[in-house]
């Protein structure tokens, strides 16, 4: 039995609600779905194999559909599936999408891009980071829509200076059915996935699906085998959805996701080290990078903790099990639309999200460390149970974040007539962050005894002589966003002219509490020791900075710290959003848009040694474009300009070695991007995209050492000036389908003075699908995917530097994947 997906919602948006929306109205929220219905033709959006979809919104937008997503490596990250869209560049940390990555859109980094699932914001509400490995299983995604450089008027974010990405969950099917996939591939990869559809059941015609996923693979650090293995990736994910119509009043949906990942970090390298391919400058094997499969260590005399009493350390410092990245994440989201009258509609989309995750490594801690002894006269703490305090013991020291987040997006929409409507929207988003760094113990094999170390309720905490937990940070923060928005939309001149004008007003408040002494943005010193004031200094609160003369054996006594503190920051603005399009000839449309955005400072930017406020970043985005959709062609091209005011970047005060964030002034982006799809035959489709971008810093940046850094006229790091993508899909016979696609990424600078750059690269993928209908297995197929077909050697995700040498994530090797898809 072939699953029959209801067109009502598959063709709608993040909403699981109400009336039957036109197929193209796959927007970011229930409210946006309703208002965008005005600009979608009744026949639905035209697309070629899901790789390109004809857009009608009066702004730069690009989308992909479920058909294209299914041809990518099964289970791949949603962000990887949009990598061929114009202006989009995603650096995947592994071939399977389970260990993270980084994305830019038109050169704007991920912390300035809003990622939404069914209209629910997924960016970390503290630092706006995107976690690509924790996203929804790709088989459950109906469509992904990217706003290039702009937001929707009700975008629930205070940081989307570079656009939005929204992916839409598939609606529950009309009929009972099962989908299942099993896959195997390179690096001991295995994947098991299944979804059960209930069809309409019960007296009210309720529709339900439930889904489960398990995947694992070995992880290799860089591209070359010269460096050796580096651990494993394991992921479990469970999803469910309920769709319920409520007569003619509307429709309600409830969805839930839980994701559990256990990953090892992938080592990063500078360009020189990577180019040497595993040897030192003396052309000898670089053993510091080799992570053996078994880390043999001297056994402790008693107790659980690992101990180092030897002159040498047989474990390399980057041993993979020292650096793990566990996460438990989940969310529940409700979506609804209510028809209050023939003209008045109300939408209500609440959500709750939970996150427990960390990343870190180990620290060789002396049992007589001052941080362990605290203010007491104790000699030290016996960490390994051998009755003395003479040893140095490896302890696991992650930075753990635990978040509980409550959200709501709602709209009240008034239909003036069949071609016009107005709406007002409200967004509420409250996130409670607990950022801790409780130490935990490491076993004799080099493995942390608990992935969440000494966090309350998990592993055994390391207790100091004064009874407190040994920790590397201790913060409690609340981020609260209240946003109101209003919008008018209309179609005129026999639907050839579209026009919308809106305004949103975000109000963000951060309540911040730091219970430790702060060294810099990321490093704190948590202790009950008595501090020593440093005369003539100011930590930004009117108090002196402090030192700890008997500070740690692992920390210099000369370091200065800001005191524990509590404070509040508020950011707000009024942001217009305008767009218009005009079909001046059959199939030809010109469009223009203007939007202003706000990007408030991240939580980490505010926790500094010296209490600072870099202020919000403001952006003005201009777009002018041309579209063509007729016969076998879909094409679009845009010229754009983004003006950033008070651009916030990480800056290093070199004399003190303190990293902090500041406004570097104004930055300008200008460029052109476009895409074209051509389908001359039902069995052949071709897609291509390209973009050119110039970024320019408009002034020099103050620096404590150089006086100023010569950044005027320089480019922002990580941005390829040229990039592009191409895909060809050919179905030579009914049972066989072939696809090949490529992604080209140009040279990227790694610092703001442009003294170092990483080389350009091109990645090619191939996919082959064999349908098994002739064997009596309808809707069942065998699919082979090859990633990095020509085994390109490259550096991907960059950890940039202000002035010097950067580190980067080595690209994954050529990877083979074979998947059996069964559907009943």
**CA 784 to each of CA 125, 320, 550, 736: distance values in angstroms, whole numbers, following the listed order:** 38, 30, 61, 12
Q: What is 7-208+223-515+564-823's CATH number?
A: 2.40.170.20
Q: What is the Cα–Cα distance from 723 to 84, expressed in whole angstroms?
A: 10
pLDDT confidence band for 186 (50 / 70 / 90): very high
Cα 734 to Cα 365: distance, rounded to the nearest angstrom: 65
CATH 2.40.170.20 in the chain, residue ranges: 7-208+223-515+564-823
Contact 585, 619 (CB under 8 A): no
C-alpha 9/C-alpha 87 separation (Å) is: 29
Alpha-helix runs per DSSP H in 402-535: none
Contacts of 490 (CB under 8 A, 6+ apart): 38, 416, 419, 420, 421, 498, 499, 500
Lowest mean pLDDT among 144-158, 398-412, 644-658, 799-813: 644-658
The answer to whether 73 touches 217, Cβ cutoff 8 Å, is no
pLDDT value, residue 392? 79
> Is a pLDDT exceeding 60 seen at residue 36?
yes
Least confident of 63-77, 386-400, 545-559, 770-784: 545-559
132 three-state secondary structure: helix
By the 8 A CB rule, do 593 and 642 touch? Answer: no
> Beta-strand (E) ranges in 534-616?
546-547, 565-572, 575-585, 588-599
Residue 67 has phi, psi (to 5 degrees) of -60, -45
Neighbours of 666 (CB within 10 A): 15
- Is pLDDT of 386 > 80? no
Residue, of 360 and 453, whose pLDDT is higher: 453
Cα-flanking dihedrals φ and ψ of residue 424, to 5°? Answer: -120, 145
In the chain the first and final C-alpha atoms are separated, in Å, by 5
Torsional class of 776: left (φ above 0), alpha (ψ -120 to 50), beta (otherwise): left
Residue with tokens 């899901």: 50
Can you list the alpha helix ranges (DSSP code H) found in 12-113?
30-36, 66-71, 78-81
Name the residue among 358, 359, 354, 351 with its Cα closest to residue 333: 351
pLDDT score, position 62: 94
Tell me if 525 sits within 8 A of 519, measured CB to CB.
Answer: yes
In the chain, the percentage of residues whose pLDDT exceeds 90 is 57
Q: What is the pLDDT of residue 3?
A: 34
Task: Give the integer Cα–Cα distance in Å for 726 and 709.
Answer: 39
Higher per-residue confidence, 20 vs 194:
194
**Cross-strand bridge partners of residue 357:** 327, 401
Name the CA dihedral angle for 359, 365, 369, 374, rounded to a multiple of 10 degrees: 40
Which two tokens mark 22?
């036109």
pLDDT > 70: percent of the chain? 85
3-state secondary structure (DSSP) of residue 66: helix
Highest average pLDDT, of 113-117, 159-163, 625-629, comes from 625-629
Of 149 and 590, the structure prediction assigns the larger pLDDT to 590
Please report the pLDDT score of residue 6 as a whole number.
32
CA distance 455 to 460: 8
* Confidence category of residue 311, pLDDT binned at 50, 70, 90: very low
Number of H helices, E strands in the chain: 7, 46
Bridge partners of 814? none
Average pLDDT, the chain: 85
Burial of 73 (0-12, 13-18, 19+ CB in 10 A): buried
Q: Given this model, what pLDDT does residue 291 score?
A: 44
The predicted structure's pLDDT at residue 239: 98
Q: What's the confidence (pLDDT) of residue 146?
A: 94
* pLDDT tier for residue 2 given thresholds of 50, 70 and 90: very low
pLDDT score for 347: 94
Tokens 């946003």, located at residue: 483
Binned at pLDDT 50, 70 and 90, residue 11 comes out as very low
Q: Residue 712 has what pLDDT? A: 92
- What's the predicted TM-score (pTM) here? 0.90
Indicate if the pLDDT at residue 313 is higher than 80. no
684-720 pLDDT, tens digit per residue, is 999 999 999 999 999 988 765 567 888 899 999 999 9
The residue-averaged pLDDT of 356-372 equals 86
CA distance linking residue 110 with residue 589, whole number of Å: 30
pLDDT at 818 over 50: yes
Task: For residue range 287-310, list pLDDT tens digits in order.
Answer: 554 444 444 444 444 445 555 543
Tell me, what's the pLDDT at 274? 83
């Amino acid at each position: 039995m072939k699953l029959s997906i209801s067109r009502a919602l598959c063709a709608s948006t993040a909403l699981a609600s109400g009336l039957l929306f036109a197929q193209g109205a796959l927007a970011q929220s229930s409210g946006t779905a309703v208002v965008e219905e005005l600009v979608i033709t009744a026949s639905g959006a035209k697309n070629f194999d899901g790789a390109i979809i004809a857009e009608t919104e009066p702004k730069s937008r690009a989308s992909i559909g479920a058909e294209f997503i299914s041809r990518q490596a099964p289970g791949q990250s949603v962000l990887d599936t949009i990598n061929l869209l114009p202006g989009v560049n995603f650096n995947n940390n592994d071939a399977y999408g389970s260990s993270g990555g980084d994305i830019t859109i038109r050169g704007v980094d991920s912390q300035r891009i809003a990622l939404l699932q069914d209209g629910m914001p997924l960016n970390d509400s503290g630092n706006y980071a995107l976690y690509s490995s924790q996203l929804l299983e790709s088989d459950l995604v109906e469509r992904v829509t990217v706003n290039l450089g702009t937001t929707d008027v009700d975008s629930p974010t205070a940081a989307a200076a570079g656009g939005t990405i929204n992916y839409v969950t598939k609606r529950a099917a009309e009929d009972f059915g099962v989908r299942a996939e099993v896959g195997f591939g390179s690096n001991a990869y295995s994947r098991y996935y299944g979804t059960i559809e209930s069809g309409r059941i019960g007296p009210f015609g309720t529709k339900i699906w439930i889904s489960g996923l398990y995947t694992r693979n070995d992880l290799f650090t860089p591209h070359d085998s010269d460096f050796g293995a580096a651990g494993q990736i394991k992921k479990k994910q469970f999803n469910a959805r309920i769709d319920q119509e409520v007569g003619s009043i509307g429709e309600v949906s409830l969805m839930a996701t839980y994701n559990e990942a256990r990953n090892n970090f992938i080592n990063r390298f500078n360009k020189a080290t990577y180019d040497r391919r595993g040897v030192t400058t003396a052309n000898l094997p670089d053993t510091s990078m080799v992570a053996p499969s078994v880390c043999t260590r001297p056994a402790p005399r008693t107790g659980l903790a690992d101990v180092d009493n030897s002159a040498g350390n047989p474990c390399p410092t980057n041993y993979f099990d020292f650096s793990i990245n566990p996460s438990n994440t989940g969310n529940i989201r409700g979506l609804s639309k209510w028809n209050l009258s023939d003209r008045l509609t109300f939408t209500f989309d609440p959500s709750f999200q939970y996150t427990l995750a960390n990343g870190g490594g180990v620290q060789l801690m002396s049992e007589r460390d001052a941080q362990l002894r605290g203010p007491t006269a104790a000699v030290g703490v016996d960490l390994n149970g051998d009755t003395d305090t003479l040893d140095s013991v490896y302890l696991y020291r992650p930075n753990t974040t635990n978040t509980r987040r409550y959200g709501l997006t709602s709209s009240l929409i008034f239909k003036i007539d069949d071609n016009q409507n107005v709406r007002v929207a409200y967004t509420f988003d409250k996130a409670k962050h607990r950022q801790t760094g409780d130490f935990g113990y490491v076993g004799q094999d080099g493995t942390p005894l608990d992935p969440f170390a000494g966090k309350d309720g998990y592993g055994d905490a390391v207790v100091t002589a004064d009874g407190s937990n040994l920790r590397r940070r201790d913060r409690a923060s609340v981020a609260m966003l209240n946003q109101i928005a209003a919008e008018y939309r209309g179609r005129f001149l026999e639907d050839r002219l579209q026009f919308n004008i809106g305004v949103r007003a975000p109000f963000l408040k951060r309540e911040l509490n730091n219970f430790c002494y702060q060294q810099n943005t990321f490093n704190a010193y948590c202790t009950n020791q008595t501090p020593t004031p440093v005369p003539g200094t100011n930590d930004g609160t009117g108090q002196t900075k402090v030192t700890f003369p008997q500070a740690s054996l692992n920390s210099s006594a000369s370091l200065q710290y800001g005191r524990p503190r509590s404070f509040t920051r508020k950011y707000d603005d009024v942001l217009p959003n305008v767009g218009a399009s005009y079909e001046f000839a059959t199939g030809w449309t010109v469009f223009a848009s203007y939007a202003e955005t706000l990007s408030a400072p991240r939580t980490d930017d505010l926790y500094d040694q010296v209490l600072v406020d870099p202020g919000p970043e403001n952006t003005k985005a201009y777009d002018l474009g041309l579209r063509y959709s007729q016969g076998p062609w879909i094409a679009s091209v845009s010229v754009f300009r983004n003006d950033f005011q008070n651009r916030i970047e990480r800056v290093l005060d070199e004399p003190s070695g303190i990293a902090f964030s500041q406004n570097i002034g104004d930055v300008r982006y200008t460029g052109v991007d476009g895409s074209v799809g051509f389908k001359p035959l039902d069995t052949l489709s071709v897609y291509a995209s390209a973009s050119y971008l110039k970024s320019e810093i408009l002034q020099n940046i103050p620096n404590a050492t150089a006086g100023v850094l010569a950044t005027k006229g320089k480019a922002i790091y990580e941005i390829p000036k040229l990039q592009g993508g191409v895909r060809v899909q050919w179905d030579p016979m009914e049972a066989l389908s072939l696809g090949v696609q490529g992604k080209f990424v140009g040279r990227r600078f790694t610092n703001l003075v442009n003294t170092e750059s990483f080389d350009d690269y091109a990645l090619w993928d191939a996919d082959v699908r064999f349908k098994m209908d002739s064997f009596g297995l309808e809707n069942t197929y065998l699919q082979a995917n090859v990633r990095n077909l020509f085994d390109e050697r490259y550096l991907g995700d960059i950890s940039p530097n202000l002035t010097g040498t950067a580190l980067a994530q080595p690209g994954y090797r050529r990877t083979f994947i074979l998947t059996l898809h069964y559907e009943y």
